Chain A
Amino acid sequence: MDETAIKIDNLTFFYNADEESGEAPEDVLAGVSLTIEAGSFVAVLGHNGSGKSTLARHLNALLLPKGGSVCVFGMDTRDEELTLEIRRRVGMVFQNPDNQIVSNVVEEDVAFAPENLGVPSEEIRKRVDEALKMVGMYEFRDHAPHLLSGGQKQRVAIAGVLAMRPKCVVFDEPTAMLDPQGRRDVMDIIEKLRREYGSTVILITHHMDEAARADRVVVMSDGRIVMDGAPRQIFSRVEELEELGLAVPGTVRLMWELRKKGMDVPLTALTADECAERLAEHFADR
């Protein structure tokens, strides 16, 4: 697949300073360039305030560039005529599940986006059912969302985005407020989304183990991209990541510590299984 999903060119952005202080506004994004292939899974890492969420909001025209440009499936986000089309193509799931559910009934919430898009009723029904089945919340279709758990609410929110049939879904720290079960469920849905729909996925996170599952990891700091590469490559730069206020996955940290003690083990192991296997090989040698 070589279609370009997103092309960001030298993007700069700042929030307008309030009049009283008279201070010059500070750049939240200071010249970001990034191209994302359709169908890929990109994780964006960065500490709080690194600009990663601001970047995310440019991808579906919630924010517009102050400098540079953002093109989504060939559409420039500054073209107001295209705003709806862009938002339909690029769905967005936010951090707080409570603050993105608009209805008191699960299925009516999932229907919200297609309703806005003027999709005919029978077609909405089909999409709602499909989206709810996809996230495993079909049995809850007539429940009240505020009585669901955080993880379940987040799945409903994802279904609400999928009902638009987007080509690309941006997840903005979708698991930050969830318990381990909720986190697992959301990550499983992301995998399923890629496997079954071939969707482009952009995941904003500071959970390293989640980022490790992506094809590509982009690290941001102070409004700039400071690292960009395959997870294995990125996580081998342990010291640099720590300087940026980021941790590495526990398994990588272990390998790194062992190497410092003079053991000859590979640096990157992204899962517990992989880590154990590499270590067992090491001890089985000779």
Chain B
Amino acid sequence: MKEPILKTEELTHIYSPGTPFEMTAVENVSIEIRKGEILGIIGHTGSGKSTLIQHLNALVKPSSGRVLLEGRDINESKDSVRDARAKVGLVFQYPEYQLFEETVYKDIAFGPKNMKLSEDEIDGRVRRAARFVGVEEELLDRSPFDLSGGQKRRVAIAGVIAMMPEVLVLDEPMAGLDPQGREEIMKNILAYHDETGAAIVIVTHSMDEAASYADRMIVLNHGRVAMEGAPEEVFSRGEELRGMGLATPVMTDVADKLRKLGVELPASVYTVEQMVSALTALERGRRGA
């Protein structure tokens, strides 16, 4: 097992404590993010996932519990906070709405500039980040507001990638895009993962998407960790997932139904590819017999 880079210990967060609006968003959550893994965090709206991820780079301080980055409490001092912001990149939902500079180049450079890097270093990072997300050089001098929706999204993600985080956390990175746009963004994120070995955390409510890339998954419900494990373990608990207002991947539904109809399938079938190989194996067996 890979060693953890980021951990939360019995993290609890309460909004507006002591008022009529008091609400516990996250309760007693202990999770770890391991070096180089792709982790899917799943939960319906209001399950506490947005609050949880804002703890990971000290944007929100825990009401109780700790967040440890490489073993050090990130809320310990101003320095540790700055360090966490640089090492844990956070891409919010609809990040294109946070673009503000005159040119794409300047917008991507905002993060590295705040890190007080040298001009050369900044330039290198901007170009590298742009390459990761497939933004061509000639777009760098354009205004970000002249780009298409999908391009804006990619520029915004590049703005975080340019900080070269060791953990890249993305909240619903594909929301509102068409199938082609979704695929492209996912490719960009995986390229960053493969080339730098950074850990990737993707927050989503799309099981089908989580099924196709996650090494490990955490399911949140009512601010607590409800399930944790490899995708096949999580998806094998379809009824519970549906009870939490989540959808199971379509292939899990097909597999469940097939088993009920007497077709024997291996346990871990939750993507189209897995289903195809399972069924073709079955077909070969049948023809051979």
Task: Give A residues with C-beta under 8 Å from B.
Answer: 47-49, 95, 149-151, 176-177, 179-182, 184, 206, 209, 245-247, 249-251, 253-254, 257-258, 261, 263, 272-273, 275-277, 279-280, 283-284
Contacts and interface: CB of A to CB of B under 8 A. Distances in A.
Given A176-B176, A247-B179, A257-B276, A276 B258 contact: yes
Interface residues of B, number: 40
- Interface centre among A48, A179, A209, A261, by most chain B C-beta atoms within 10 angstroms, is A179
B208 A250 contact: yes
Interface in B16-64: 44-46
Contacts of A275: 254, 257
Contacts of A277: 257, 261
A279 B279 contact: yes
Contacts of B249: 250
B254 A276 contact: yes
B180 A245 contact: yes
Given A251-B250, A261-B276, A47 B178 contact: yes
Nearest to A95: B176
B181 A48 contact: yes
B257 A272 contact: yes
Interface in B88-106: none
Contacts of B251: 250, 254
Contacts of B246: 180-181
Contacts of A180: 44, 205-207, 245-247
B272 A48 contact: no
Interface of B: 44-46, 148-150, 175-181, 205-208, 245-247, 249-251, 253-255, 257-258, 260-263, 272, 275-276, 279-280, 282-283, 286
Nearest to B46: A149
- Interface centre among B149, B250, B263, by most chain A C-beta atoms within 10 angstroms, is B250
A273 to B, nearest CB: 6
A47 B182 CA distance: 11
A197 B175 CA distance: 32
Contacts of B282: 283
B192 to A, nearest CB: 23
Nearest to B271: A250
Nearest to B149: A48
A257 B275 CA distance: 10
A250 B179 CA distance: 12
Contacts of A47: 178-181
B257 A151 contact: no
